[in-house]
Structure 1
Amino acid sequence: MPYKQIPFRVQDTNTQALLRLARQRISVLFAMLRDGTFYEPRTPKDVELAA
Structure 2
Amino acid sequence: MNKKITKITKRIVEIHEESGKHYGARQKSIISLKEEGYKVSLKRVQRLMQ
TM-score normalized by the length of structure 1? 0.41
- Could you say which structure has the larger radius of gyration? 1
TM-score (norm 2): 0.42
Q: Greater relative contact order (Cα 8 A, min sep 6): structure 1 or 2?
A: 2
